[in-house]
Amino acid sequence: MPKSRWLAAIGQRPWVALVIAVMVIALDQWSKQIAMAELDFRSPQQVTSWFNWMLTYNTGAAFSFLADAGGWQRWFLAGVALAVSVFIVVWLFRLSPGDRGLVMPLGLILGGGVGNLIDRLLLGHVVDFISLHYQSWYWPAFNLADSAITLGAGWWLLSAFFSSASPPEKAPVS
């Protein structure tokens, strides 16, 4: 089997998503440990004119949604992340051959979700440390798990948009 076909075949196996997820989780947790050990909380370390390392904690969801909700959001968001993760794993092993292009993006989403779930369960918050900005406009801080989720979701949407699968034929009306 030619190398390109072999790589394409591997990318269509559901277990590949689990390997990708484990790699994302490991890199995410490793990078967060380094950030917590090396950075001072809310003290930006300039890397470029538009990029800082800055340790911060997010008790909410994306863009700090629900961050000031009083604590209940920790368990609610952990439950949502756990439910979505189980859903993705089940979905992966039920993919039809025509949908196997979703294996890699779903692996990224799963790994990112579980990486942040681990933080939420063990620490009560998600560790963020990447800060992008333009002049005085700052994007909310994020981490590698967030990046994997965003990359996976974007890949998934592009796959759906550019899918060559034809829609199912309608049954004739009698």
What is the CB neighbour count within 10 angstroms for residue 105?
23
Domain that holds residue 76: 47-136+146-158
In this predicted model, what pLDDT tens digit does every residue of 117-129 receive, in sequence order? 999 999 999 999 9
Identify whether 110 is part of a domain.
yes
Identify whether 168 is part of a domain.
no
What is the CB neighbour count within 10 angstroms for residue 150?
15
Identify whether 57 is part of a domain.
yes
In this predicted model, what pLDDT tens digit does every residue of 33-47 receive, in sequence order? 999 999 999 999 999
> Count of domains in the chain?
1
Identify whether 5 is part of a domain.
no
Identify whether 30 is part of a domain.
no
Query: Given this model, what pLDDT does residue 7 score?
Result: 47
Catalytic residue set: 128, 146
Query: Given this model, what pLDDT does residue 99 score?
Result: 83
How many Cα atoms occupy the beta-carbon half-sphere of 149 within 13 Å? Answer: 20
Identify whether 91 is part of a domain.
yes
The rounded distance, in Å, linking the Cα atoms of 27 and 11 is 20
Query: Given this model, what pLDDT does residue 98 score?
Result: 77
Q: What's the predicted TM-score (pTM) here?
A: 0.82
Identify whether 58 is part of a domain.
yes
Query: Given this model, what pLDDT does residue 164 score?
Result: 60
Identify whether 100 is part of a domain.
yes
